[in-house]
């Protein structure tokens, strides 16, 4: 079985004043407890790091940190669910900081081994911190003044960090619920269907201890509610009639076509976070999705481009095309170019540009492309293959084409890969494999010949520029859509890499170029087999 996790966002619908006070009180106590626990752990960070280095399993490390901070958190006036969430939050924060310090120390050792290194020395990662509950205007003004008077990059970075820290002051940390239980966690519940077949969904949140001022005045009855979490028998169970004094019931507001269809009816709730932002309460629930693993029978090459957001080509073991299609990206590119022109105009006039249009349009297009890729991969039981774009999307080095990096990053090509990671797993498909992107758009799949002229420039009818959307091999005259051809070559390159020995795979593409194991030779052999 393949398992993956996605997060659904539910708005808490019209809570009463009493429930608002309950949740705000729990959020404040949770924030203060996290601050106290973090201060305690950072005070003995060196000894903790030494102990963590002796452990290999993440669960062992998390358990070790939780045991260390338990004497500090346990006596605090928090609910059992909040205590478990704070300790889990602290363990994750300290583990992440420990790993960052390890990476910094490793990089520093490599830098020290270089005799003539004139680059700027590495700076260690900053320690994690918790924002203050009460903002202080004088400290904010002091940070702004430091930013104005900074004379070098180090002073400017320090002033910016102080400014961001002050900007976060007053924002409450979310409460993390790690268990699905009444006594020390949360539950997503539903009422039985009414006369018109309507369902009402609620959440029970374990917010305060039995000694709280809210406990005896506001008992909660859970009679007649159904737990949406699927049990071991594969069905949801009716909650046993009970009354609890350590939490509250809140109604959830969400969309029927998204949260209901994509999360509640298909997934199983795991952990959750209660947040307060922009004057409203939200519950972010992590859902687990399971699907039977699909055994790949062919390969699906995915080429990411500028005019076509994604081009797909499904091939069999002989490299024959089973299915191919383009996912147009011109509409997205038009919106992005329009917003960029608007941004330049606004900033030129000295005003602040603020718009979510580009991001929302790009997110919508990327999700639609990812859904189509998953659908094609399921239809043909294909192994997805993508080109590795790390060296193309970075801002280091020089490019031959002007503005190429900016255009390539604009369409969020790396986001397509991250979205595919969980969408493929949710469908039971294997994760996408990667191959080197070099020459995939200039290689002929029939004879193996590659050169830049394989993608000739054709003048546009209106004389506004050139089009390079056709692939024409200069040796064998094979012709195809350029992006679809690139997708096919990407899939073929993965087939080629899989049939090499381990020693041959460790060599670079250029090292195998003039040998009998070269990619061009492999393409010729496949073409002969097809004929």
- Which of 309, 313, 281, 283 is CA-nearest to residue 299? 313
Q: Kindly state whether residues 286 and 310 are assigned to the same domain.
A: no
Q: Kindly state whether residues 205 and 348 are assigned to the same domain.
A: no
Q: Kindly state whether residues 6 and 76 are assigned to the same domain.
A: yes
- Residue 484 class from Cβ within 10 Å (0-12 exposed, 13-18 middle, 19+ buried)? buried
Q: Kindly state whether residues 370 and 499 are assigned to the same domain.
A: yes
- Directed axis angle between helix 153-167 and helix 137-149, to 10°? 160
Parallel, antiparallel, or unpaired: how do β-strands 433-436 and 382-388 relate? Answer: parallel
Parallel, antiparallel, or unpaired: how do β-strands 186-190 and 226-227 relate? Answer: antiparallel
Are the C-beta atoms of 362 and 444 separated by less than 8 Å?
Answer: no
Residue 143, domain member (yes or no) = no
pLDDT at 503: 85
Residue 409, domain member (yes or no) = yes
Residue 474, domain member (yes or no) = yes
Q: Kindly state whether residues 386 and 245 are assigned to the same domain.
A: no
Are the C-beta atoms of 146 and 160 separated by less than 8 Å?
Answer: no
Give 3-state DSSP helix, strand, coil % of the chain, rounded to 5.
Answer: 45, 20, 35
Residue 25, domain member (yes or no) = yes
pLDDT at 234: 66
Residue 18 tokens, joined? 């009493």
pLDDT at 485: 94
Residue 230: pLDDT band (50, 70, 90) is confident
Which DSSP category does 258 fall into? I
Q: Which of 241, 259, 291 is the last residue of a domain?
A: 291
Full residue range of the structural domain in which residue 450 is found: 298-530
Residue 216, domain member (yes or no) = yes
Residue 36: pLDDT band (50, 70, 90) is very high
Q: Kindly state whether residues 283 and 347 are assigned to the same domain.
A: no
Residue 155, domain member (yes or no) = no
Return mean pLDDT, the chain.
Answer: 85
Residue 81 tokens, joined? 């669910």
Residue 116, domain member (yes or no) = no
The C-alpha atoms of residue 522 and residue 435 are separated, in whole angstroms, by 16
- Directed axis angle between helix 357-380 and helix 413-426, to 10°? 40
Q: Kindly state whether residues 347 and 485 are assigned to the same domain.
A: yes
Q: Kindly state whether residues 284 and 371 are assigned to the same domain.
A: no
- Residues facing residue 434 across a β-bridge: 386
pLDDT at 401: 47
Least confident segment among 7-11, 90-94, 311-315, 460-464: 460-464
- How many domains does the chain fold into? 2
Q: Which of 248, 269, 291 is the last residue of a domain?
A: 291
pTM of the model: 0.79
pLDDT tens profile 450-477: 898 998 887 767 666 667 788 999 999 9
Residue 341 tokens, joined? 């022109």
Q: Kindly state whether residues 279 and 227 are assigned to the same domain.
A: yes
Q: Is the pLDDT of residue 25 over 80?
A: yes
- Directed axis angle between helix 17-43 and helix 58-73, to 10°? 110
Distances (CA, A) of 7 to 197, 300, 506: 27, 28, 38
pLDDT tens profile 394-427: 444 444 444 545 554 544 667 888 899 989 998 9
Count the neighbouring beta carbons within 10 Å of the beta carbon of residue 373: 25
Q: Kindly state whether residues 274 and 329 are assigned to the same domain.
A: no
Q: Kindly state whether residues 346 and 402 are assigned to the same domain.
A: yes
Which DSSP category does 299 fall into? E
- Directed axis angle between helix 519-530 and helix 482-499, to 10°? 100
Parallel, antiparallel, or unpaired: how do β-strands 220-221 and 458-459 relate? Answer: unpaired
Q: Kindly state whether residues 326 and 260 are assigned to the same domain.
A: no
User: CATH number for the domain including 313?
Assistant: 3.30.420.140
Q: Which of 226, 256, 291 is the last residue of a domain?
A: 291
Residue 25 tokens, joined? 């009180």
Are the C-beta atoms of 29 and 133 separated by less than 8 Å?
Answer: no
The C-alpha atoms of residue 405 and residue 399 are separated, in whole angstroms, by 8
Residue 154, domain member (yes or no) = no
Residue 382 tokens, joined? 């294909």
């Amino acid at each position: 079985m393949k398992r993956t996790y996605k997060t659904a966002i539910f708005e808490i619908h019209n809570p009463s004043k009493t429930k608002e006070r309950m949740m705000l009180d729990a959020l404040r106590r949770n924030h203060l407890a996290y601050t106290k626990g973090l201060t305690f752990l950072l005070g003995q960070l060196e000894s903790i790091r030494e102990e963590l280095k002796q452990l290999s399993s993440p669960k062992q490390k998390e358990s070790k940190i939780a045991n260390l901070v338990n004497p500090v958190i346990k006596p605090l006036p928090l609910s059992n669910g909040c205590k478990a969430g704070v300790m889990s939050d602290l363990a994750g924060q300290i583990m992440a900081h420990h790993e960052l310090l390890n990476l910094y120390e490793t990089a520093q050792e490599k830098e020290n081994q270089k005799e003539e290194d004139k680059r700027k020395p590495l700076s260690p990662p900053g320690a994690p911190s918790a924002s203050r509950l009460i903002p202080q205007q004088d400290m904010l003004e002091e940070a702004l003044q430091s930013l104005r008077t900074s004379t070098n990059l180090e002073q400017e970075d320090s002033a910016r960090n102080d400014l961001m820290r002050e900007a976060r002051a007053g924002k409450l940390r979310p409460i993390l619920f790690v268990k699905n239980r009444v006594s020390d966690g949360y539950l997503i519940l539903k009422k039985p269907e009414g006369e018109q077949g309507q369902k009402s969904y609620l959440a029970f949140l374990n917010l305060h201890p039995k000694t709280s001022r809210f406990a005896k005045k506001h008992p909660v009855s859970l009679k007649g509610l159904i737990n949406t979490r699927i049990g071991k028998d594969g069905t949801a169970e009716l909650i046993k009639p009970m009354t609890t004094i350590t939490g509250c019931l809140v109604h959830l507001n969400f969309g029927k076509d998204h949260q209901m269809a994509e999360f509640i009816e298909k997934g199983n709730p795991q952990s959750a976070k209660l947040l307060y932002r922009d004057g409203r309460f939200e519950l972010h629930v992590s859902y687990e999705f399971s699907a039977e693993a699909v055994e790949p029978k062919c390969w699906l090459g995915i080429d990411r481009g500028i005019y076509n957001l994604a081009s797909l080509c499904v091939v069999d073991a002989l490299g024959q095309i089973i299915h191919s299609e383009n996912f147009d990206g011109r509409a997205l590119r038009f919106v992005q170019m329009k917003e960029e022109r608007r941004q330049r105009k606004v900033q030129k006039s000295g005003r602040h540009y603020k718009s979510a249009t580009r991001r929302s349009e790009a997110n919508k297009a990327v999700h639609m492309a990812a859904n189509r890729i998953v659908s094609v991969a399921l239809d043909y039981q294909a192994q997805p293959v993508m080109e590795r774009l790390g060296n193309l999307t970075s801002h280091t080095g020089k490019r031959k084409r002007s503005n190429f990096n900016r255009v390539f990053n604009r369409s969020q090509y790396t986001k397509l890969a991250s979205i595919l990671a969980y969408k493929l797993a949710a469908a039971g498909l294997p994760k996408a494999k990667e191959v080197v992107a070099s020459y995939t758009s200039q290689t002929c799949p029939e004879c193996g010949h590659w050169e830049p002229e394989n993608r000739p420039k054709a003048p546009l009818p209106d004389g506004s520029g050139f089009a390079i959307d056709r692939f024409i091999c200069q040796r064998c005259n094979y012709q195809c859509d350029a992006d679809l051809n690139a997708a096919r070559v990407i899939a073929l390159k993965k087939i080629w890499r899989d049939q090499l020995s381990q020693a041959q795979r460790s060599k670079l593409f250029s090292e195998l170029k003039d040998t009998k194991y070269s990619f061009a030779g492999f393409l010729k052999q496949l073409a002969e087999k097809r004929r």
